[in-house]
Chains A and B, each alone.
Chain A
Amino acid sequence: MKHAARIFLLVTAAALLAHYLPIGWHILTATRQRAPFVNYSDTGAGFLFIRMEGAGGNTRFYYADAAGRTLERDTFESLLPLTYHAQLYKNGAMPKEIGGVALSPGALRREQFTLRVRPGQLDTPRVPLHPVFETGDGRARLEPPPDFMRITGAAAPSGSGLPPLSEKRQETAPTPPPPATQASRRRAIEFLDPQTNTILPEKSALYSDAFARARFVFPVTAAGSNPTARKPYDEGLYLADADGQTFLLRQTRGQPVLLRVADHAADPAAWRALRPRHIIVNEIETRELRALIIDADGKPWLAVGENHRLVPLPVTRYDPTADTLSLRGNLLHRLLVVQTAPAPGAAPVLEAIALDRDYRVLARHHETLPDPAARPAARAGQMLFPLVWWLADDTSGYLGFHARVTPRDLLPAALALNALLLAAHLLLLRRRKTLSATRLPDLAATAALGLCGLLPALLLPRAD
């Protein structure tokens, strides 16, 4: 027991130091570093950037073009009239049209959108209850639905439309509706009423039948909607079934409308082959953008237009589990930006792709960003702390054990430092006349973790 306890204390203390010391090192040495903000000129000047230069407290932003020339702010803004239209209107410098396209404040606002996908938003805890908005109630603004949909996927009653046995009984002898927590006689779809915290049997039956009729195969493998009433309209809830088929669920005048997207799309074969893993919905006023879909291979797609045209996004590298993707649009074009996460031995990369309104590639920009791990202070940190771990990471909304080990090029230096610390540790033990076989775990901790192993080994109480 005593040796097990001491090893437990050693491992815990070393692990905590490998967690906290690098955080302290980062706080002491981190400098402000920001990726350039990419724009694509509306007037034919190509890619334009807002960049940051300097370090520490002496950073400043400046404007530049793709050739690296620094631009005055006014010049920069005049090259991006669709982005800085408010300023240009104020200055009286806003053009009336560009390339034959008339510019009006209303159209500029309506056509502008931003869609951003971060890895942390894809892998994050969610309560599996969905609001289903009413799209046909004749109201000018969307109203939050009074109930929530739960998808149980339980064996649904036959699609005959007949109510289940329990509800037949209800007709003759009314009983209170089942509580929202009751699991017996479950339907594939259940609607929960927050007012009474009960299941709404009729609506649940109605929707369960709609799913059965649409031949939806449970369980749901991906779901995506924009669950807010603060949007111009409701696109609906996209659901991918166990066969990978994508469905779109809407509610019109209280009735469920469940469509297999492939049956209503311009390219049904592409939709049938698509295996969605993540579906992101963000309604914009023009209704052009239906959904952004990331398939099982991590490839991003856009569903656009009335007939759900499936457009593959032409990114050369995108890993949804680590990289950030954004799509910005305006009256003239779309700008797709992917920023990869820094990986061991690989600096982050920024890829910007300008697309026309039909999603054809106009221009590409590729840039390797400064690797935050390549700064001298960061490299010293990687040498001092051979193993670093943390719980909260940008790649997930869940806490997890994320770790980084010293990169290969720094490994000899890190091992040499550990060897030095190990020699000092051995000398110290010999001087204290406590060098024995029971000290092997302490020495192993120093050899493996360097400072994070040595400090607890010196502070730990003796076992005998």
Chain B
Amino acid sequence: MSRALLYKEWIKLRLWWTLMLAASIAFALFLFFKLRYIANANEAVTVWNAWIFKGWLFFRPFQYAPLVFGVTLGFLQFLPEMQARRIRLALHLPLGETRVIALHLAAGALLLALVLLPAALVFSLGGALWFPGEWQGNLLRVVTPWILAGGGAYLAVAAILLETNWRHRVFYLLLTAGALRLFLLETACDTYARILPALALWVLALTLVPLFSSHRFRKGLAR
């Protein structure tokens, strides 16, 4: 039954997911070719100096892309489920309400990861053409909060859509907007290095919120 549920999610999202994947790869390739242009148009030492002393990683425009993909995927996955309350059918499956929603979330998180992974590979492998291992380390520590913000945004949208009370929806929206802002501060390379584990743990714990919303939905707790 779990596989059937995952297949249902795939059927629902495959067209949109393909479009998002294409958009993600296209954006990543655009940034890669922009870096290639920068590397060709400037002295290599100048480009390295910009990285080492100014903290330029050349992929900064991608910062908000995971957030946009996370929000979009969350809407595309859960908005149809909440229209006419179709999710009720899934919640009545013998799998149990928590497991059903967890499977929905796992499917969405996997698809989001697969949207972002090729872009991350383009950055990493592309950057390796011009930069050494230290640059890859910087990239990892800079991109990770963006990806975590994307995951957090996806979970937040799921929680907001599964919640039935508008007051609580607004509360969740403000809460996650305030929290996710802290993932996307304009800072130099590696400044997030010391707090990345805490941010990752918070996003992991955020999984509880859509499960909580679905519990309230199932029990009819509108207040």
A148 close to B (CB within 8 Å): yes
B195 touches A399 (CB 8 A): yes
Contacting pair A8 B132 (CB below 8 A): no
**Known A-B contacts A125-B193, A400-B194; A12 and B221 likewise in contact (beta carbons under 8 Å):** no
Q: Is the CB of A125 within 8 A of B191?
A: yes
Asked if A460 meets B171 with Cβ closer than 8 Å, knowing A125-B188, A197-B131, the reply is yes
* Docked CA distance A6–B194 (Å): 27
Q: Which residues of A contact B189 (CB under 8 A)?
A: 125, 127
Contact in complex: B212, A12 (CB < 8 Å): no
The distance in angstroms between the C-alpha atoms of A362 and B206, with both chains bound, is 61
Chain B neighbourhood of A4, CB < 8 A = 208
* Least distance between B221 CB and chain A CB atoms (Å): 6
Task: Check: B130 CB closer than 8 A to any chain A CB.
Answer: yes
Pick from A213-221, A305-313, A390-398, A436-444 the stretch touching chain B: A390-398
Q: Does B4 contact A (CB under 8 A)?
A: no
Of B25-33, B40-48, B77-85, B108-116, the one with at least 4 CB within 8 A of chain A: B40-48
Which of B5-13, B16-24, B58-66, B175-183 is the interface stretch?
B175-183
A169 at interface by CB-CB < 8 Å: no
B37 contacts partner chain A, Cβ-Cβ < 8 Å: no
A181→B191 contact, CB < 8 A: no
Residue of A nearest to B209 (CB): A5
Whether A462 and B215, one on each chain, are in contact in the complex, defined by CB atoms closer than 8 angstroms, is no
* Given known A-B contacts A16-B175, A401-B198, A5 and B44 have beta carbons under 8 A apart: no
Closest residue on chain A to residue B212 by CB atoms: A5
A450 to B49 CA separation, bound complex (whole angstroms): 49
CB atoms of B208 and A8 under 8 A apart = yes
Q: Decide if A181 touches B190 in the complex (CB within 8 Å).
A: no
Task: Report whether B49 and A127 are in contact in the complex, using a CB–CB cutoff of 8 Å.
Answer: no
Residues of B in contact (CB 8 Å), total: 51
Query: For residues 174 through 223 of chain B, which have their beta carbon under 8 Å from a beta carbon of chain A?
Result: 175, 178-179, 182, 185, 187-195, 198, 202, 205-206, 208-209, 211-212, 215-216, 219, 221, 223
User: B51 on the interface (CB 8 Å rule)?
Assistant: yes
**Which secondary structure dominates where chain A touches chain B?**
loop
Contacts of B193 in A (CB 8 A): 125, 398
Distance, CA A459 to CA B170, complexed state (A): 10
Q: A146-B45, A181-B133, A399-B191 are in contact. Are A127 and B138 (CB under 8 A)?
A: yes
- Which A residues touch B52, using CB under 8 A? 127, 129, 148, 227
Contacts of A146 in B (CB 8 A): 45
Q: Which residues does chain A contribute within 8 Å of B131, judged by CB atoms?
A: 180, 197
Rounded to whole Å, the gap between the CB of B53 and the closest CB of chain A is: 6
B106 CB to closest chain A CB (Å) equals 16
Q: A391-B182, A464-B221 are in contact. Are A192 and B53 (CB under 8 A)?
A: no
Task: Given A192-B132, A459-B171, decide whether A1 and B182 contact each other with a Cβ distance below 8 A.
Answer: no
CA distance A9 to B190 in the complex (A): 29
In the complex, A128→B194 CA distance in Å?
17
Given contacts A5-B209, A127-B52, A180-B133, 11 further A-B contacts (CB under 8 A): A1-B211, A5-B215, A9-B209, A16-B179, A129-B52, A145-B45, A183-B133, A391-B185, A399-B195, A463-B212, A463-B216
* Nearest 6 CB-CB pairings of A with B: A125-B190, A5-B212, A180-B132, A194-B44, A5-B208, A181-B133
19 contacts between A and B (CB under 8 A): A1-B215, A5-B208, A5-B215, A9-B212, A12-B202, A13-B175, A127-B135, A127-B138, A127-B189, A128-B134, A148-B48, A150-B132, A179-B128, A195-B45, A399-B194, A401-B195, A401-B198, A461-B171, A461-B216
B: residues with CB less than 8 A from A are 44-45, 47-49, 51-53, 98, 128-136, 138, 163, 165, 167-168, 171, 175, 178-179, 182, 185, 187-195, 198, 202, 205-206, 208-209, 211-212, 215-216, 219, 221, 223
